[in-house]
Chains A and B, each alone.
Chain A
């Protein structure tokens, strides 16, 4: 049986609120009623588990997993890090999914009409399971920044989208990783939905030359922190007794 401890209360002071005028699409898609606070039950502390048999051998290699007649254009990078909880424990065997634009800033998606070209050898998505210590890694092409319709001349900083499960449904998280030194981070309305400067810094991956492969690719390190579980179980009766 998996760990059934309740989750620590989510720190809403660092999380973006639903309604953020600067990110215009949020205006009509944000609940206006207060969220109803719900103490965890089994429905929140449990969650789906995934196995290695569900993943293919190239799922964590975006340089090769859609290569048709050559390799994709762009800067070759490794992205690696750990999925941890707020107690600092690595979260093992959890699914991490990622998707991104190509080196020119274009997604392989029918709704993306940006004029930069599709790369015939780049799909732009992958996934990995963390190891026993919560460690994950994948190889890809560094995505390009791209324009979007928020203000007339808005550009997203280069980023990779991440989806992470953890071990309970209340840990479910989607976020974005940015790259150290990108000048668009400071002005991006989506980044700036986050009300806490340190929480923004936590989304910026540093260049990690120790994990680079000489004469092949550079590396960025990105740790992801999910909610922690309580380990002091007095008076926590999730189930009957």
Chain B
């Protein structure tokens, strides 16, 4: 008999459920309990941007109870900046399903074996009916050359699916707005990653 090979097993995921908002964004749920609330705004140096979108189910209907978190590098592509926490949390509007995050545009990040990754934001999506959080990435439509060389986008075999990872830049109120709709199922289903 060889030695025992003992690892613990990861705790199984369960859906965040319909009331995830009272746990993670009670103030957005209209519920005043914590002095300090986490928000959908990331502060830091760089170009201010706004990201807007919906998360859409298999019938084309926006989810009105979804929660997203984002994680990104700073404007220079660093995750080591002590003055910058590139994390935000946003709930969709209970009536329209629209969510938004305000941040700065991240820089390109050095990837595996030194290959540069185009500027991107990691997104994590949870909701009622989602059994385990879904991971995707948001890239920027105005980074065409960098996106073309990005090692993660290029992993998507069917080129037609790559566009699901690109947020479209438009003009907003004082800052650019990137539109990023996430399709959970059906035509143009967003690429989700097993990370």
A-side residues, CB < 8 A to B, are 1, 7-8, 10-12, 14-18, 20, 23, 25-33, 35-44, 46-49, 54-56, 59, 65-66, 84-88, 97-99, 107-112, 123-125, 127, 161, 163, 169-170, 172-176, 190-191, 193-194, 196, 198-200, 202-203, 224-228, 237-241
Contact = CB atoms under 8 A, between A and B. Distances in A.
A178 to B, nearest CB: 9
* 9 nearest CB pairs, A to B: A240-B114, A99-B23, A25-B129, A48-B87, A29-B129, A16-B131, A35-B194, A28-B58, A46-B79
29 contacts: A15-B12, A16-B132, A18-B132, A23-B15, A29-B184, A31-B190, A33-B161, A33-B192, A36-B192, A42-B109, A42-B110, A43-B109, A44-B122, A46-B79, A59-B34, A86-B7, A98-B23, A108-B31, A110-B94, A112-B18, A125-B22, A161-B19, A173-B11, A173-B133, A174-B13, A193-B131, A203-B11, A225-B9, A228-B7
Contacts of A59: 34
Interface of B: 7-24, 26, 29-31, 33-36, 57-59, 63, 65, 69, 71, 73, 79-80, 85-87, 94, 109-114, 117, 120, 122, 124, 126-135, 137, 152, 155-156, 161, 184-186, 189-195
A35 B131 contact: no
Given A10-B194, A37-B193, A163 B109 contact: no
Given A88-B8, A175-B13, A225-B11, A99 B19 contact: yes
A169 B71 contact: yes
B14 A202 contact: no
A174 B14 contact: yes
Contacts of B16: 161, 163, 174
Contact of A55 (B23, B36, B130): B36
B12 A161 contact: no
Contacts of A10: 10, 194
B14 A172 contact: no
A123 B31 contact: yes
Contacts of B12: 14-16, 175, 194, 196, 199-200, 202-203
A43 B120 contact: yes
A46 B31 CA distance: 31
B6 to A, nearest CB: 8
A36 B164 CA distance: 13
A10 B14 CA distance: 15
Contact of B185 (A30, A65, A127): A30
Given A29-B127, A97-B24, A225-B9, A175 B36 contact: no
